[in-house]
Amino acid sequence: MSNVMRETVTAKPVQTATLPWWKSWGPGAIVAACIIGPGTVTTVSVAGAELGFQVAWILVLACLVGYFIQRPVINWTVATGTSVLEGIRDEVSVFWSKSIFFGLWLGALAFQAGNFIGASMAMNLLFPSVPMLAWVSLLSIMAMSIAWFGVYKVLENINRIVMVMLVLTFCLTALVALPDAGSTISQGFTLSIPQGNILIILALVATILVPNTLVALSGFTKNKYRDSAYSKEQVRKLSFNDLKINFTLLALISIAILLSSATAFYGSGQTIASAGDMAVQLTPILGSFATVFFAVGLWTAGFSSGLFNLTVQPMLFGHAFKRSEDPGSKVNRIILIVTAIIPIALVWVFGGSPIELIISAQAVNGLLLPVLTVVLFILTNKTDRMGQFKNTTASNVINVLIIGLVTVLAVQVFIDFF
């Protein structure tokens, strides 16, 4: 990981029992910035255009599952001072830590292609004569160059500003476009699956539950509080607050995007085939500026998420293989190069169907979730390592339900693909 991403935050001792919410802002925010990328915007927009607001309950469910699936991650990291991948390596087997790393890496490569495709579609709105493959190649090289030298914080801060603008715009658009709040909300929470479209449901869940972020949160939490003066219970409380804030934000953003897309496209006979189509969602309040604004936001979301996936690989590799996390090491340099080049090849092969590739990448990521949730269940029930942070009976019940859900979804997508 870069020097910036590896830096720790030394906190002062806290005398009061109540900690201000802003003290928790950290690892969860970085993960949320990765999740809200072009894959999420595209997948949710397509769902809104094809199925209307009827799938809003799926997004709420996905965010709730995302919150509860991350709680054991935090419990493990707080209790042991190690990341999840380190726990798998030391408590399960080196074989499984290495296998999970490679599985996560392959999923990240598909997700990476979706990130750069989204950013490229944004650039095509402003410069339509440049081929998408050329944009993807340029963006991959740019991201690798920044990850290579560890220059990340400036882009991260800029991305936060632009993402806040994009969030506000979608929420305001949703409010302006909302025809009848009562009927719309009741329609969105009927708990039905429109047209039996299981694949799009899986894609909506997988766009929130990205396996890469599951283990990345553990590493970020470890680094942030490594030299902290907070007690373990305080770190746990801060980290849970971080999760609540960011998954609530994710739910609001995704529902706003869904409502905007449903209002603009559902029932009109139109389909979303490009970022330009999605820009129509912003027209009610931005008018002719919608295309430019959406292009800037989509590019920032795509490029920052892509840079995250590149930068995080050395950390995950170091945890899985008990090697250095320094991106300057020879092996990590190779990992960065391969992670940058393979998405270019994927776009070269599948470039004719960018929207389908993005949605497929989101769905494929869900195949690894059952493995991670089962391993997490095993780790967080080890009394000798977890101590007072061992799973409660209620937590175990919730985790078993989550394991069942992600397993059913993974089996369904496997059947659909093969």
CA 114, CA 301: separation in Å to the nearest integer? 11
Q: What is the DSSP letter of 411?
A: H
22 within a domain of the structure (yes/no): no
Residue 221 lies in a domain: yes
The CA-atom distances, in angstroms, between 56 and each of 7, 19, 188, 291, 391 are 38, 33, 5, 25, 30
Structure tokens at 409: 């979804």
Residue 217 maps to a domain: yes
Of the candidates 396, 397, 388, the one whose C-alpha atom is nearest the C-alpha of residue 78 is 388
Overall pTM > 0.75: yes
Quick one: which of 384, 366, 367, 386 has its CA closest to 376?
A: 386
* SS3 call for 1: coil
Does residue 26 fall inside a structural domain?
no
**Does 197 map to a domain?**
yes
Domain residues for the domain of 38 are 3-7+33-417
The residue type at 40: T
Query: Can you give the pLDDT at residue 11?
Result: 41
Supply the CATH number for residue 199's domain.
1.20.1740.10
Query: What is the tally of structural domains in the chain?
Result: 1
Tell me: the pLDDT tens digits for 169-195?
Answer: 777 777 776 666 556 666 667 666 776
Between CA 26 and CA 31, with CA 27 as vertex, the angle to 5 degrees is 120
What is the C-alpha to C-alpha distance for residues 279 and 265, in angstroms, rounded to an integer?
A: 11
**Is 363 within a domain?**
yes
Nearest to 139 by CA among 296, 304, 275: 304
Please tell me the distance from the alpha carbon of residue 122 to that of residue 138, in angstroms, as a whole number.
14
Q: CA 294 from chain center: how many Å?
A: 20
Rounded distance between C-alpha atoms, residue 412 and residue 406, angstroms: 10
Q: Which residues contact 12 (CB under 8 A, 6 or more apart)?
A: 229
Residue 155: predicted pLDDT = 46
pLDDT digits 0-9 by tens, 33-70: 788 887 788 788 888 888 888 888 889 988 998 899 89
Does some domain include residue 218? yes
Residues in the chain predicted with pLDDT less than 50, given as ranges, are 1-17, 151-152, 155
17 within some domain: no
